[in-house]
Structure 1
Amino acid sequence: MREPAPEGPPPERPPPAPSGAGREGDGGICTPAGSHDAALPPRPHPTRVREKGPFAFAECGCGWRGPARRARDRARTDAAGHP
C-alpha cells in the first residue's frame, strides 16, 4: 500500500521565469539556456527555413517562428532579419 500524503501546505516552487527571459534586447545573440557564465562567448541565433505543405516559414533555436509564406525567399528574408 502507498503511504498517506503528508499533510500541510505543498512545498514551495521557485517562481516561473518571465516569458522571453534572456532573449529581448540581446542584439540577436543566444546564450545557452540557464547559463550566466561570462566566460562563454555568445552565439548567433541558429535560424532555418522549414516547409509545411505549400508554406515555408523561418524558425530559430530560441523559439521564435516567422509567419508562413508561400515564397521561400520571403521566409529566408524573415530568418535573416530575426533579431
Structure 2
Amino acid sequence: MHEQSATGPHHTTTTERGSFAVARCTCGWAGPARRSRDRARTDAADHIGATDDRDARAQGRP
C-alpha cells in the first residue's frame, strides 16, 4: 500500500466479490472483505476521516 500526498484527495468506492464487499481508496488503501455492505461503507468513511485528521495535523491544524 502506498500513501497519497497530504494535499491529494481520497476517493473511496465499495465493490463486491461474491458475497463480500470491499472498500478501496484512490490512495491504494483497501479495507478487509466484509459480508456486510454497510460495514464496508463504514470502513471507507473511517478511512476518509482518518486521512482528514492526518492531513490536518500535517498542515499544523489541531
Say yes or no: TM over 0.5: yes
TM-score (norm 1): 0.50
Moved over 6 A (4+): none
Higher normalized helix content (fraction of residues): 2
Which residue number corresponds to residue 5 of structure 1? none
Which residue number corresponds to residue 50 of structure 1? 15
CA distance in structure 2 between the partners assigned to 1:69 and 1:49 by the alignment: 10
TM-score (norm 2): 0.66
CA distance in structure 2 between the partners assigned to 1:22 and 1:57 by the alignment: 19
CA distance in structure 1 between the partners assigned to 2:14 and 2:22 by the alignment: 6
CA distance in structure 2 between the partners assigned to 1:70 and 1:55 by the alignment: 5
Which residue number corresponds to residue 39 of structure 2? 74
Matched, 1:60 2:42: no
Identical-pair percentage: 54
Q: For structure 1, which runs of at least 5 residues remain unmatched after alignment? A: 1-18, 32-42
Q: Kindly indicate whether structure 1 or structure 2 has the higher relative contact order, using CA contacts under 8 Å at least 6 residues apart.
A: 2
Aligned positions, number: 48
